[in-house]
């Protein structure tokens, strides 16, 4: 299969490589940031992050994705401490969502509107949304975190 120069240029333009604060990132197809319910920042090479985005979409969220080479500046910008860290970070209605948080808990957060910075599922527990594997499940907690400290929001 021969690929023309024009096709390569069109593909490069379609990828929309943008230089942003904290490094280079790719903006994937989907709604714009202004149109989306939730914006997900993730590595372009992380499959489980893509699976989590699909989990959100299946649960009714409109999702914009920004792929980044370096996630550290995003985590710093939104105050995600290392002990809460995971592979992707999202923003929804003023809250930060870190890691494989189930859509059900994000909806609960948006309904209850607690005073907090957001929710986190630290690490990458097997069986959490995007991390499903042949029926295996780790126990994990969804953590509500903010300036007042952190507490368990839900257990799985």
Average pLDDT taken over every residue of the chain: 83
Handedness of CA 25, 30, 92, 56 (dihedral sign): negative
Fold of 5-155: Glutaredoxin (3.40.30)
pLDDT in tens, 88-98: 999 999 999 99
**In the chain, domain spans:** 5-155
Contacts of 28 (CB under 8 A, 6+ apart): 65, 66, 67
0.85 cut: is pTM over it?
A: no
Query: What residue ranges in 14-139 does DSSP mark as E strands?
Result: 17-20, 23-27, 38-42, 63-68, 89-92, 95-99, 118-121
The CB density around residue 24, as the number of other CB atoms within 10 Å, is: 12
């Amino acid at each position: 299969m021969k690929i023309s120069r024009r096709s390569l240029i069109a593909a490069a333009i379609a990828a929309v490589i943008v230089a942003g604060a904290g490094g280079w990132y790719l903006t994937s197809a989907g709604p714009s940031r202004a149109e989306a319910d939730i914006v997900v920042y993730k590595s372009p090479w992380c499959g489980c992050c893509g699976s989590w985005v699909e989990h959100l979409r299946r649960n009714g969220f409109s999702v914009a994705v920004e792929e980044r080479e370096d996630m550290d500046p995003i985590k710093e910008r939104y105050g995600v401490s290392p002990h809460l860290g995971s592979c992707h970070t999202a923003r929804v209605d003023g809250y930060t969502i870190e890691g494989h948080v189930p859509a059900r808990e994000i909806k609960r957060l948006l309904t209850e509107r607690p005073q907090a910075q957001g929710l986190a599922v630290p690490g990458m527990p097997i069986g959490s949304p995007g991390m499903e594997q042949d029926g295996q499940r780790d126990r994990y907690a969804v953590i509500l975190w903010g300036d007042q400290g952190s507490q368990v929001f839900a257990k799985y």
